[in-house]
Amino acid sequence: MLFAVDVGNSHTVSGIYKKGQLMGSWRLQSRQDRTADELAIRYHGLFQMAGINPDKITGFIIASVVPILETSWLHFARSYLTKLRQPPLAVTHTLKLGMKVATENPSEVGADRIVNAVAAWERYHVPLIVIDFGTAITFDCVNGVPEYVGGTIHPGIGISLDALATRTAKLPRLDIDVTPDQPIGTTTVKAIHSGALYGFGGLVDRMVQVLSQQLTPDQERARTIATGGMAGLIKPYTSTIDEIDLDLTLTGLRLIYQLNCKGKDEQSADFAA
C-alpha cells in the first residue's frame, strides 16, 4: 500500500492507496510543533480505526509547503513505516513528473501546486487551470506540451475574513456557515457573507478569463478543475469551474510515486491505477 501525505499551512490531508484505490483519507490540522513520535501515535490510531495494517504500507510520498513538518513526516516514515521498499519520497520539481516545470525559478514552486498540475493533466490532457482553495487561493496553469507554466496566488477566504475582523473596529470574525439569499446584504453579517462568496466567485471568473487569454488564446477558455476545502462553497457563485475533486492532490501524489518508483519497487503494481 502507498501512504500519500499533503502538508498545507492549515491542514494536512493524507490517504492510503491499494491497487490504485483510495482506501481511507484523513484531514487534520497542520501543527508545526508536531514531532515524528506524535505523528506515529496519531496515525496508529487512525489506521487502527480504518482497519489498515501499517505493516502493509510499502511506499510513502509527501508534498509539503511547511519545511519543519516535512522533516517530521520523513522522520516518521523512516522510523515507523518499517516495511518501506525504498526511502520516503518528497516531491520537488526535480522528480519525474510527466511535465516540465517551465517557470523562471522552478525550485520556488510549491510542491502541492506541482502535484495538482500532474493530476489534472493526467485526467484531461488539454491546457488547463487548477484552482486550489486553501490558506491561499492558487491558480495553476498547464499548457498543451505539457508544461507547468505558472499561475497566480491570492489571499484565501479564511485569512481574508481574519484580516477583516482584526483590522476593523466593529466587524466580527465570521465563518461562512450560511449562504446569502441576495447579493445586497441587509445586515452586517449578511454583507460579509455576500462579499466573501460573490466576491471570491467573481475573482475566480475574472482570473480564469485572463489566464485563459494567455494560456489558450485560440479557445474560449481553458478547462478548469478546483480542489481544496472551500471549493464546493464557492462553486455556485462562479460560472467557470468545470469540476471539483477534493482528492486531486492525493491522486497526483500517487501518480508521481508511480513515475519515480516503477521498476524500483517490486510491489509497484499496488499503486497503479
DSSP string, 205-249: HHHHHHHHHHH-TTSS--EEEEESTTHHHHGGG-S---EE-TTHH
Residue 239's pLDDT band (cuts 50, 70, 90) = very high
Q: What is the mean pLDDT of residues 143-166?
A: 94
User: Tens of pLDDT along 184-218?
Assistant: 999 998 999 999 999 999 999 999 999 999 999 98
100-241 is a CATH 3.40.50.20 domain? no
Asked whether the domain spanning 100-241 has the same topology as the one spanning 2-90+250-271, the reply is yes
Q: What is the mean pLDDT of residues 97-125?
A: 97
> In angstroms, rounded to a whole number, what is the distance separating the alpha carbons of residues 200 and 188?
18
Identify residue 198 by its one-letter amino acid code: Y
Q: What is the pLDDT of residue 263?
A: 58
The answer to whether residue 78 scores a pLDDT higher than 70 is yes
Q: What is the mean pLDDT of residues 59-67?
A: 97
Q: What is the mean pLDDT of residues 14-41?
A: 94
Q: What is the pLDDT of residue 273?
A: 44
Can you give the residue ranges of every domain in the chain? Answer: 2-90+250-271, 100-241
The answer to whether residue 144 scores a pLDDT higher than 70 is yes
Q: Which CATH number fits domain 2-90+250-271: 1.10.3470.10, 3.30.420.40, 2.30.29.30, 3.20.20.220?
A: 3.30.420.40
User: Tens of pLDDT along 247-267?
Assistant: 999 999 999 999 999 755 544
- The mean predicted confidence, pLDDT, of the chain is 93
The answer to whether residue 35 scores a pLDDT higher than 90 is yes
Q: What is the pLDDT of residue 220?
A: 85
> In angstroms, rounded to a whole number, what is the distance separating the alpha carbons of residues 239 and 233?
13
Q: How far is CA 243 from the centre of its chain?
A: 15
Q: What is the pLDDT of residue 8?
A: 93
Helix (H) or strand (E) holding 141: strand 136-142
User: 59-64 and 128-133 as β-strands: parallel, antiparallel, unpaired?
Assistant: unpaired
Tell me the pTM. Answer: 0.92
Q: What is the mean pLDDT of residues 2-24?
A: 95
Q: What is the pLDDT of residue 266?
A: 41
Q: What is the pLDDT of residue 98?
A: 96
Q: Which residues are catalytic?
A: 112
Enumerate long-range contacts of 26-30, CB under 8 Å, 24 or more apart. Answer: 27/229, 30/66, 30/69
Q: What is the mean pLDDT of residues 174-182?
A: 80
